[in-house]
Structure 1
Amino acid sequence: MTDDIGRLVRLGDTAQTVADPAADVRGRAVVDSDGDDVGRVDDLLVDDQENEVRFLRIGEGGFLGIGAQHYLIPVDAVVAVEPDRIRISRNRDRMAEVPPYDPELEYQPDYYAGVYGWWGYAPFWGPGYRYPTYPRY
């Protein structure tokens, strides 16, 4: 990301925490629009200028986190935060081509723009972007 829009950092790599521990979605299951499991939230990507959660990092498969595949879901795609799970707008069948999370591209705006584009949302740094009013993290 450029200096004027900041960088995205994994919350787990910082000394920061979620202000309300009850609102921390890490560890919760993620389900699609039909209620089918798509993975588990294993971290949050936060922009370092506005301290807003921009993506949920999802782990899928593997055993005890080893060998898990990771991908990002923009907070814009979250339609419900429930006590034990997160519900997203996309159907699992349509997620076969979701861009994988690549930590090597973690600070590249083009990478994030591509992820936003795949999900059908405009990037948070674009003109007129408005942070979702629900759910709040």
Structure 2
Amino acid sequence: MAIDTRDDILERDETTNLIASNKVEGTAVYNRSGEKLGTVSHFMVGKRNGRVEYAVMSFGGLFGMGANHHPLPWDVLDYDTDKGGYVVDLDKERLEGAPSFARDQEPTWDRDYGTRIYGYYGLNY
């Protein structure tokens, strides 16, 4: 029986262009100033096209309690290897006005909601 080494784990969970979903969840999200905004709670994948549409970021609260969830279009996230997390062009004030939902109130993930989210970030849905 072989013992996993760090290199073996990286080969299975991450390549230059791909990353396993379990490695994305819990990843920090920063703004361009380096301020941590939250962490990726989960992401939403299109059933038909297989494309990641949103990274749902947990933001606010204390120790995860009372945090809101902010769906961010995947295209607004840039991975920064130096930070080991994603970077977005947002500050906390702009994020506070963004479409969000409480942990226990999952939204209806329909076209209207997608248009609202993408529009808030200046993207076409």
Shift of 1:28: 0.7
State the secondary structure of the residue aligned to 1:38.
Answer: strand
Structure 1 stretches (4+) deviating beyond 3 angstroms? 62-66
Match of 1:79 in 2: 78
State the secondary structure of the residue aligned to 1:103.
Answer: coil
- 1:79/1:89 contact within 8 Å kept: no
- 1:80/1:88 contact within 8 Å kept: no
Q: Which ranges in structure 2 are unaligned for 5 or more consecutive residues?
A: 1-11
CA distance in structure 2 between the partners assigned to 1:78 and 1:100 by the alignment: 17
RMSD: 1.9
Q: 2:13 aligns with which of 1, 18, 21?
A: 21
**Which structure is larger by alpha-carbon Rg, 1 or 2?**
2
Match of 1:117 in 2: 119
Partner amino acid for 1:105? T
- 1:44/1:55 contact within 8 Å kept: yes
Percent of pairs with identical residues: 23
TM-score (norm 2): 0.71
Moved more, 69-78 or 55-64: 55-64
Change (3 A) 1:51 1:120: same
Q: Which ranges in structure 1 are unaligned for 5 or more consecutive residues?
A: 1-19, 124-137
CA distance in structure 1 between the partners assigned to 2:75 and 2:64 by the alignment: 25
Alignment of 1:47-58 (within 5 A): 47-58=46-57
Match of 1:69 in 2: 68
Shift of 1:93: 3.1
Change (3 A) 1:122 1:36: same
Q: 2:107 aligns with which of 104, 107, 117?
A: 104
TM-score (norm 1): 0.66
CA distance in structure 2 between the partners assigned to 1:60 and 1:96 by the alignment: 9
1:31 aligns with 2:33: no
Shift of 1:63: 4.6
